């Protein structure tokens, strides 16, 4: 790997285990999307912090599809490109709600610990 690409990766944050699924479900909440679009959306939504690795994205999509949290269909785009488009199923929607509240709890808990740490240090 060259020096340049190493630098490019420096600002990135490794996705926490399992958060990619949440991000995918969240992205699909706004409407059906193909893999490339999902990757772009996540990157844009995280202000370029999260660079989604295709080696994680596609396995995740196919896994979620198998878990019936999302479904896939072929669509032809405006420039006549056949693409595989994913949409949220109702099970996926429920999963998203519960994962979101879990994530909120997680963030609160982590924030709480970090805050207490700071007062302790003061």
Strands (E), the chain: 33-34, 70-76, 82-88
Q: Judged by CB under 8 A, which of 46, 71, 83, 89 binds another protein?
A: 83
Q: How many residues bind another protein (CB under 8 A)?
A: 19
Task: Decide whether 9 or 106 has the Cβ nearer to another protein.
Answer: 9
Torsion 70-77-52-97 (CA) sign: negative
- Assess 62 for contact with another protein (CB under 8 A): yes
- Assess 101 for contact with another protein (CB under 8 A): no
Nearest distance, CB of residue 122 and another protein, angstroms: 45
Contact 101, 94 (CB under 8 A): no
């Amino acid at each position: 790997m060259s020096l340049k690409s190493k630098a490019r990766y420096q600002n990135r944050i490794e996705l926490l285990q399992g958060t990619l699924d949440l991000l995918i479900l969240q992205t699909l909440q706004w409407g059906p999307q193909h893999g490339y679009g999902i990757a772009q959306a996540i990157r844009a939504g995280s202000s370029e912090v999260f660079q989604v690795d295709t080696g994680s994205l596609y396995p995740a999509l196919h896994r979620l599809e198998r878990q019936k949290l999302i479904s896939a269909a072929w669509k032809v785009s405006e420039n006549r490109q056949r693409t595989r488009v994913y949409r949220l199923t109702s099970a996926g929607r429920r999963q998203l709600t519960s994962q979101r509240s879990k994530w909120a709890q997680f963030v609160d808990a982590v924030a709480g610990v970090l805050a207490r740490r700071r007062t302790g240090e003061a």
